[in-house]
Amino acid sequence: MKRKGISPVIATVIIVAVAIAIAIAVAFWMTGIIGLFTRFEKLEVTYCYAEWSDDSWTVKLKVRNTGSADATIVNIFINGKPYTAYSPTPSISPTIPTDGLPLKSGEEQEFTITLDPDAGFEHGMSVEFKIVTASGQEYPKMTNLP
């Protein structure tokens, strides 16, 4: 009885083909993982200006997510303090929910902030507004109150 196996050449070709297939699968898998870990959040404040009207200042602040990852705005600081630390509390529209305001990559959001002189704000004062995201990033912008 003669036993015949596959030739060494064919065995080598099969092993090389399997190795190449595994290498291609690993490359596609790594590309997907790298794409997940290299996404980043970046917000840009497009504009920030204040206008006086009757008895308060109205501040318009527009922010755009120019990063590749979605961002969540969790707070707005005014002169280094959360806006809720002022009395009377400045009104912010749209309001920021407790779980944050989502901002997808490429999206813009305009905030309207009303500042009351009774909260310590004065004409000619420089005010810093800082957007804070869930990832801990801070995006400041300074404006002067007319």
Amino acid 70 reads: D
Residue 117: half-sphere exposure toward Cβ, Cα within 13 Å: 11
Q: Which of the residues in the chain have pLDDT under 50? A: none
- Range 43-144: architecture per CATH: Sandwich (2.60)
Q: What is the pLDDT of residue 5?
A: 67
The predicted structure's pLDDT at residue 27: 86
Instruction: Kindly report the number of other CB atoms within 10 A of residue 126's CB atom.
Output: 9
The pTM score is 0.72
Q: For the chain, what are the domain ranges?
A: 1-38, 43-144
The per-residue pLDDT for range 99-114, each reduced to its tens digit, is: 999 999 999 999 999 9
Task: Report the pLDDT value the prediction gives residue 140, as an integer from 0 to 100.
Answer: 95
**Residues 73-87 pLDDT 10s:** 999 999 999 999 999
The pair of structure tokens assigned to 55 is: 């008895």
For residue 118, which amino acid is it? Answer: D
Compute the distance between CA of residue 7 and CA of residue 125 in angstroms, rounded to an integer.
Answer: 87
Residue 60 phi/psi, 5° resolution? Answer: -105, 125
Helices (H), the chain: 8-37
pLDDT at 3: 66
Question: First-to-last CA distance in the chain?
Answer: 103
